[in-house]
Amino acid sequence: MDNHTTDPIIDLNDPAFYINRDLSLLAFNRRVLAQAKNEQIPLLERLNYLSISSSNLDEFFEVRVASIIEMAAIDPKAIAIDGMTPGEQLKQIAIHAHALVEEQYQVLNETLIPQLAAQNIRFVRRKDWSPAQHKWLEHYFNRELLPILTPVGLDSAHPFPRILNKSLNFIISLTGKDAFGRNSGRAILQAPRSLPRVVCLPAAETHSGPYDFVFLSSIIHAFVNDLFHGMTVKGCHQFRVTRNSDFFVDDDAIDDLLLAVQGELAMRNYGNEVRLEIDADCPEDTVSFLMERFNLTTDRLYRVRGPVNLNRTQEISSLITDRPDLKFSPFKPSVPAPFGRNKNMFAAIRRSDMLLHHPFEAFTPVIEFLRQAAEDPDVLAIKQTLYRTGVDSPIVAALIKAARAGKAVTVVIELRARFDEKANIDLASKLQEAAVHVVYGVVGYKTHAKMCLILRRENNELRNYVHLGTGNYHPKTAQLYTDYGLFSADKDLGEDVRRVFAQLTSLGKVTKLNKLLQSPFTLHKGLLDKIEREIGHAKNGKPAKIIIQVNAVVEEQLIKALYRASQAGVVIKLIVRGVCCLRPGIPGLSENIEVRAIIGRFLEHTRLYVFANDDNREVFASSADFMSRNMFKRVEICFPIENKKLQTRILHGLEWYLRDNNQVWLLQPDGSYQRAQQQKGEEAIEAQSKLLSELQA
């Protein structure tokens, strides 16, 4: 009799093996909020983390929740990879989001406000105003607010006004009659966005501390009676409505993408309502009135104990200029020696590929690269993609200067970079005025690749210089986001980039690329092939390891490939900032997979893929995350880091992330995250701080 038993076959389609992407996104926001409670972080920075968690939650409702609501209406029986229908997802989201909002206000009221007060930074409540403060605020209301506030009494001639997305509003209960004998009982007051949400009391005039603040909502509450002469205000309660802000452009039904985006942009502030935030003390009848007006159910109602828009607390940090002890220590990013002052960028890049790691290293060499190209008589053409940047960016100034110098400048602008559409439309207009050739990418696909190509004549032949990055060409975010950028004069790489630009600007067919992987054509298959190759190595007893650092792991086929790799014995280390639908540590499935998330001073934005490949190591950087949209609905590039020194440098940086025991969270098989604990006698390691000290040195 054969006593041999085989391991049970695991069904990779089992929903139990996958985490819901939206619950994972809420878990990311909980990790951000945890920074607001972290005593190791300077106090004003902790207030910023609270604001960031609130801003992230706004976008979550505007985009993700809105899309699930739409799916629930279109296809209520649709099943996600984790087995939930849209309705089931909305129920779970409501549970987790309400808990998160409750925690946000708890952190504000019970932790941050008392600790700020201990540092003489106070939020002065109405009941605590001194006579001098009350007098000054009343004068401020009459001078600065009263002339521009327009309350709307609700009656047949004054219907309920359109409420702007995420605007501060008040619903006011009234008794008595107005000058015309009307008695509607209710009014709506909208606070214009031009008004500051936080007012700093002048110390000399009000005998206040140096940083005594009052919320705009408190000022309006205190003096709202002055807006309703002859009537009595019985109640005044702030509220805010979040709307669906993800617009749709039918690529097959438009003639001009720019006009179509402009048209949709105008409607963004008035999309369908998805959430109502309201003062926790608002009476039930008033809440019910608003809920009915906005056609919302109770699971989308959020009662809050504080300002309805926590994002505005971020203004505090910029108003406090003389307390460096409450902020992160300033740092000056380093500039690698080959890119020092007055150095010829093209000569440096010809000698060797160069790598920049932002924000530890400066973004200025990227700007200098374009500035020198604009002034160099041997440069004939510049081609660049722009996803997010600023109209006043030095990058844009260099491109305009190059065009005015007679160089052929082509810019591919992605108009539909979410929430940057208006800035990108303005940018396109400015570039076109300077005779820059502007195109908007490929119909149906966002251009998300970050690449710049400079064509230069040298010794009677043309040479390509490229910059390829994991992040946007935006000098400000380059100070806040971690990203890599590669400079190279490699002939094959340059030819690949030229071909990709040709795809984007013409209607030509895809041509084979030498070194780049590109979505939506070769990137997904290329990654699957490389994972399968590691599986083969592991089965043959050869070194097999995968390290991936991305913002999100969602795409189903890639997750299944990683599961198969784990089953084959491949060691897999995933550093995933945000959403991760993969469950690590499940016996027989993913016990060889570790997932860690870093939440630190800088936003982790890098995308790196490393494959051991039987000691013939391959290292890639990319603009793409492990998401379906990156693989199939965007133009992305993935570029090899072939220089051995640069490979070693990247692996050294990754090693810090894999050893971090201070700012790292480990994903558990049940989908929860646990903060890593420094073991007794173990060196305290914070990856971002290590890189900052190393690269500044």
Which residues are tagged catalytic?
448
306 within 8 A of 280, measured Cβ to Cβ: no
279 within 8 A of 238, measured Cβ to Cβ: yes
Which of 638, 676, 637, 682 lies closest to 657 in space, CA to CA? 676
Per the listing, tokens 């409501």 go with: 94
3-class DSSP state of 221? helix
197 within 8 A of 309, measured Cβ to Cβ: yes
Q: Which helix (H) or strand (E) holds 115?
A: helix 113-118
196 within 8 A of 315, measured Cβ to Cβ: yes
277 within 8 A of 308, measured Cβ to Cβ: yes
Rg (CA), the chain: 28
> What is the rounded distance in angstroms from the CA atom of residue 336 to the CA atom of residue 317?
32
> What is the rounded distance in angstroms from the CA atom of residue 339 to the CA atom of residue 361?
11
274 within 8 A of 69, measured Cβ to Cβ: yes
Q: Cα dihedral angle (525, 526, 527, 529), rounded to 10 degrees? A: 80
3-class DSSP state of 298? helix
Token pair belonging to 358: 């932002």
Q: What share of the chain is helix, strand, coil (3-state, %, to 5)?
A: 40, 20, 35
487 within 8 A of 502, measured Cβ to Cβ: no
Those residues with Cβ within 8 angstroms of residue 16's Cβ, 6 or more apart along the chain or in another chain? 83
Per the listing, tokens 């000698």 go with: 351
Beta partners for 303?
A: 278
**Residue 134 class from Cβ within 10 Å (0-12 exposed, 13-18 middle, 19+ buried)?**
middle
> What is the rounded distance in angstroms from the CA atom of residue 129 to the CA atom of residue 137?
9
